[in-house]
Chains A and B, each alone.
Chain A
Amino acid sequence: MAALNGAVENGQPDKKVPPLPRPLRSLEVKYTKIFINNEWHESTSGKKFPTYNPSTLEKICDIEEGDKPDVDIAVEAAKAAFQRGSLWRQMDAPSRGRLLHKLADLLERDRVILATLETMDTGKPFLQAYFIDLEGCIKTLRYYAGWADKIQGRTIPVDENFVCFTRHEPMGVCGAITPWNFPLLMLVWKMAPALCCGNTLVIKPAEQTPLTSLYIGSLIKEVGFPPGVVNIVPGYGPTAGAAISTHDSIDKIAFTGSTKVGKLIKEAASKSNLKRVTLELGGKNPCIVCADADLDLAVECAHQGVFFNQGQCCTAASRVFVEEQIYPEFVKRSVEFAKKRLVGDPFDARTEQGPQIDQKQFDKILELIESGKKEGAKLECGGLAIEDRGLFIKPTVFSEVTDNMRIAKEEIFGPVQPIMKFKSIEEVIRRANSTEYGLTAAVFTKNLDRALTLASALQSGTVWINCYNALYAQAPFGGFKMSGNGRELGEYALAEYTEVKTVTIKLSQKSP
């Protein structure tokens, strides 16, 4: 999975496969404080909060707990770093890009450390943290490093005697509130475009998973970003998070998390200073498998699509619609896959599924599983926790699911695959779109007309055809409807981090 550089030796591709990386067994957590102005601070209140390893249920360490006063200090630092004439404002655009590239270099250097921390903090399998999360972080940083000096305005042929052009200026101080499912990756998705466009940041990582975000603070300092450009305040949503969304000196806020909290943030933004808002929220993503699909491919993609990261993905394929004719075979093969899925210690190289993030999520998932059983879905396998194993849940498959069941409507965020049946394309379009969510969708078919009809008909920010979770820095990502506002990644993210200024100069005589 590590990227090959395409190098060819004597006409033959390089056949050597590099050995698998290994996690660091006794890793000491070095960074546990609040990061402001490139320095580490204790919380104003003196309070700390614990962070746990969901796999062992042991406390990893205590973290300084940020609240409104700490957010205020961070915002002051970010504002100062954004002043006209500051180092950051005066820096050449390609130099901003160079800093992002260097940050990527340091992530590459400390890749094993970061992957180990991420696994300790989230319970995700180490090899996935290494090959997927860290790979995405490095590539996204490099992608946006390339954009830094290509944030281009326009010259505009206006009427009458004027010379007119636009500047695409940075918005200013951006608040970023990041989730616990891909802590570092979701942070980089925000940090990279924000910095590339010249903004400064105040970040609040999820309270369950602050470790990698704080570690990246140390790298930001090492790379040489000026003080105040990136500030990181760990803490809780209702305190530190709310302080950010209501702050009068924050110009923009970006949030990834639940739809429920996303709405609160948007409301807070409107009530305070009309700060610009981008939101990446939940999903109940349809995965449509037509009878003419490559069945093996569809089964595997649907499986990974829902079970990846312990089911804790906003892109989870949590409504699998299978065309009637192939339904029994699809269910049979999916159950086989689910039964084979190796659940265990995320540091073990063979593990495919680790624990859920915390007790709250664990309980919620089990409750939804119970509702599935109660409401009449057919439990094909799994359906309960792995005994004596803390937060681990058996990969669960439900068939004969109908659209009105809770497991078909609510975001589960766990290793549970509901499989439903459909007859016609018109019907499945209607049913797939029949949700307030609209993040992603997938279609498995060999038929061109069907593929493109569905691509256009599905109300989702991303439509995958004959694949799943194909997410790359170049392609914009975001939700229709209540799955979000705005787009991350690609060129489109730049628009979310710039404020357009039009400059118009009067001339004594018109210039064509």
Chain B
Amino acid sequence: QIFINNEWHDSVSGKKFAVFNPATEEKICEVEEGDKADVDKAVKAARKAFELGSTWRTMDASERGRLLNKLADLVERDCQILATMESINGGKLFSTAYLMDLNASIKTLRYCAGWADKIQGRTVPMDGNFFTFTRHEPIGVCGQIIPWNFPLIMFVWKIAAALCCGNTVVVKPAEQTPLTALYMGSLIKEAGFPPGVVNIVPGFGPTAGAAISYHMDIDKVAFTGSTEVGKLIKEAAGKSNLKRVTLELGGKSPNIIFADADLDAAVEFAHVGVFYHQGQCCIAGSRIFVEEPIYDEFVRRSIERAKKYTLGNPLMPGVQQGPQIDKEQFNKILDLIESGKKEGAKLECGGGRWGNKGYFIQPTVFSDVKDDMRIAKEEIFGPVQQIMKFKTIDEVIKRANNTTYGLAAAVFTKDVDKALTFAAALQAGTVWVNCYNAVSPQCAFGGFKMSGNGREMGEYGLHEYTEVKTVTIKIPQKNS
């Protein structure tokens, strides 16, 4: 059901929508479908919880942190339930959900819990006879729209930062994957967050999502999802009330492998970098540039690696790849694979559906990929690896940056100069040197260019959830 004011509600319209298991294509259950009317209710509750003098506004910052830590304790307690739910609903390998998603969620909650009473303003030596200081206030009611690829982690990334800074939130989880978000609602209530601080409205993008991005009483919207939808959200924010916007969007991240790299490590990182979670990562290393001298060997080893997979029900141990999230994604990926074949890339392995139930796609490797092919330009979001060849540093820098995306990038080399040159030259929010997917709550994460606006996590993430107020007091005489 819909979670508002720490209570469970039916949708105003009475409508429900179905939630599916992508491994079996069977319905798991039905969920109340929120729309504009429900978003309005949620915003009202969030606004009330944010009023001056409310329990949440008058709570010690350290206590906010204590609540986040308590929430982490509860997630830890129920990690098996949550991991199972995430696996069934998201098609995610259970072992991955348990070891990575749950772990990351707990760590993020604890990280942000620690920041709560460290949101510090400054005193400012202004000209004139004034005493001036800044307050880093919470922005207010934050709308947060969560994607389906890492439902729980993305939910936690958003609420942890928002709550630690003192905001209240209205969260719309992806329609494909609302279950863990709603379960979190019950833990949030159990942890003791005051009613109205966190509200969760499951529903669809064009209805509930749009209601959030156009809402005149929401102060900020945070969205993780496709670049295409991200643009719509920012437009809506501009057209409505100039709400602040942070966006974490798509990527077509370059992974650059030099001849002097540790080849085994590079192959493994490049593999996991693109195949992790069935390729459904915004940071997927989906353009692999390999220096000419080692190209053939790299391709050979990558194919070997890709062929080692066992596909199946993500709840079963021993399974290494689960299904894609839904039919729409499934079809899009197969379409892009076909384009690869048609446009002349060399299909090394895989290339089609696996099995006849569930949205499974064979791990696929393309070599001899050219930059103008669709598979080299468009975000695939599936288990498809593109391997291209390069000759020189300047060439590969140009090619790597030749995209409207800019989320992440990696370079594999033992040479210090090369490593640091790329660290500076690559237009990406995160640059990995000799590793991939190293993401952690301490590090700021976000996109250059059209991969996003703003940053999540790290100290930088706090800036996105605070509004700075300067207080200036006239005094008879200033002394420094």
Query: Dominant SS at the B interface?
Result: helix
Instruction: Report the stretch among B8-16, B62-70, B446-454 that lies at the interface.
Output: B62-70
Q: Is there contact, CB below 8 Å, between A150 and B476?
A: no
B355 at the interface (CB under 8 A from A): no
Considering the chains assembled together, what is the distance between the CA atoms of A142 and B111 in angstroms?
Answer: 12
A7 at the interface (CB under 8 A from B): yes
Considering the chains assembled together, what is the distance between the CA atoms of A98 and B109 in angstroms?
Answer: 12
- Interface size range of chain A in the complex: 35 or more
Considering the chains assembled together, what is the distance between the CA atoms of A152 and B443 in angstroms?
Answer: 10
Q: Determine which residue in A6, A505, A507 has the highest number of CB atoms from chain B within 10 A of its CB, and name it.
A: A6
Q: Kindly identify, within residues 61 to 101 of chain B, every residue whose CB is under 8 Å from any CB belonging to chain A.
A: 61-63, 65-67, 69-70
Residues of B contacting A507 in the complex (Cβ-Cβ under 8 angstroms):
417, 420-421
Partner of B475, one of A94, A150, A453: A453
Q: Is there contact, CB below 8 Å, between B118 and A146?
A: yes
A351 at the interface (CB under 8 A from B): no
A28 at the interface (CB under 8 A from B): no
Residues of A contacting B316 in the complex (Cβ-Cβ under 8 angstroms):
none
Considering the chains assembled together, what is the distance between the CA atoms of A253 and B65 in angstroms?
Answer: 31
Q: Is there contact, CB below 8 Å, between B120 and A491?
A: yes
B329 at the interface (CB under 8 A from A): no
A163 at the interface (CB under 8 A from B): yes
Residues of A contacting B417 in the complex (Cβ-Cβ under 8 angstroms):
507-508
Given contacts A5-B66, A94-B110, A491-B118, contact A152 B459 (CB under 8 A): yes
Considering the chains assembled together, what is the distance between the CA atoms of A249 and B67 in angstroms?
Answer: 42
B113 at the interface (CB under 8 A from A): yes
Total contacting residues, chain B, CB less than 8 A = 42
B479 at the interface (CB under 8 A from A): yes
Q: Is there contact, CB below 8 Å, between A97 and B114?
A: yes
Q: Is there contact, CB below 8 Å, between A6 and B59?
A: yes
B112 to chain A, nearest CB (A): 9
Given contacts A8-B194, A94-B110, A452-B131, contact A142 B66 (CB under 8 A): yes
Q: Is there contact, CB below 8 Å, between B442 and A150?
A: yes
B217 at the interface (CB under 8 A from A): no
A134 to chain B, nearest CB (A): 15
Q: Is there contact, CB below 8 Å, between B65 and A163?
A: no
Considering the chains assembled together, what is the distance between the CA atoms of A163 and B421 in angstroms?
Answer: 10
Considering the chains assembled together, what is the distance between the CA atoms of A138 and B37 in angstroms?
Answer: 45
A223 to chain B, nearest CB (A): 16
Given contacts A452-B131, A491-B120, contact A150 B110 (CB under 8 A): no
Q: Kindly identify, within residues 395 to 453 of chain A, every residue whose CB is under 8 Å from any CB belonging to chain B.
A: 448-449, 452-453
B289 at the interface (CB under 8 A from A): no
Q: Is there contact, CB below 8 Å, between A505 and B61?
A: no
B416 at the interface (CB under 8 A from A): yes
Considering the chains assembled together, what is the distance between the CA atoms of A173 and B480 in angstroms?
Answer: 36
Q: Kindly identify, within residues 1 to 29 of chain A, every residue whose CB is under 8 Å from any CB belonging to chain B.
A: 3, 5-8, 11, 13
B107 at the interface (CB under 8 A from A): yes
B192 at the interface (CB under 8 A from A): yes
Of all chain B residues, which has the CB nearest A14? B192
Q: Kindly identify, within residues 454 to 494 of chain A, every residue whose CB is under 8 Å from any CB belonging to chain B.
A: 456-457, 472-474, 491
B115 at the interface (CB under 8 A from A): yes
Residues of B contacting A508 in the complex (Cβ-Cβ under 8 angstroms):
417
A143 to chain B, nearest CB (A): 7
Q: Is there contact, CB below 8 Å, between A150 and B118?
A: yes
Of all chain B residues, which has the CB nearest A4? B63
Q: Is there contact, CB below 8 Å, between A456 and B475?
A: yes
A101 at the interface (CB under 8 A from B): yes
A373 at the interface (CB under 8 A from B): no
Considering the chains assembled together, what is the distance between the CA atoms of A98 and B114 in angstroms?
Answer: 11
Given contacts A6-B63, A6-B192, contact A94 B117 (CB under 8 A): no
Q: Is there contact, CB below 8 Å, between A6 and B424?
A: no
Q: Is there contact, CB below 8 Å, between B55 and A6?
A: yes
B438 at the interface (CB under 8 A from A): no
B480 to chain A, nearest CB (A): 10
Given contacts A146-B114, A163-B424, A456-B475, contact A101 B192 (CB under 8 A): no
Of all chain A residues, which has the CB nearest B59? A6
A18 to chain B, nearest CB (A): 15
A512 at the interface (CB under 8 A from B): yes
Considering the chains assembled together, what is the distance between the CA atoms of A388 and B192 in angstroms?
Answer: 51
Residues of B contacting A147 in the complex (Cβ-Cβ under 8 angstroms):
114, 118
Q: Which 5 A-B pairs have the closest CB atoms?
A: A146-B114, A511-B424, A7-B192, A6-B59, A8-B194
Chain B residues proximal to chain A, CB less than 8 Å? 55-56, 59-63, 65-67, 69-70, 107, 110-111, 113-118, 120, 131, 192, 194-195, 416-417, 420-421, 423-425, 441-442, 459, 473, 475-479
| A-B residue pairs in contact (CB < 8 Å), sample of 9 | A5-B192, A93-B442, A101-B110, A142-B69, A143-B62, A146-B116, A150-B115, A150-B118, A507-B421
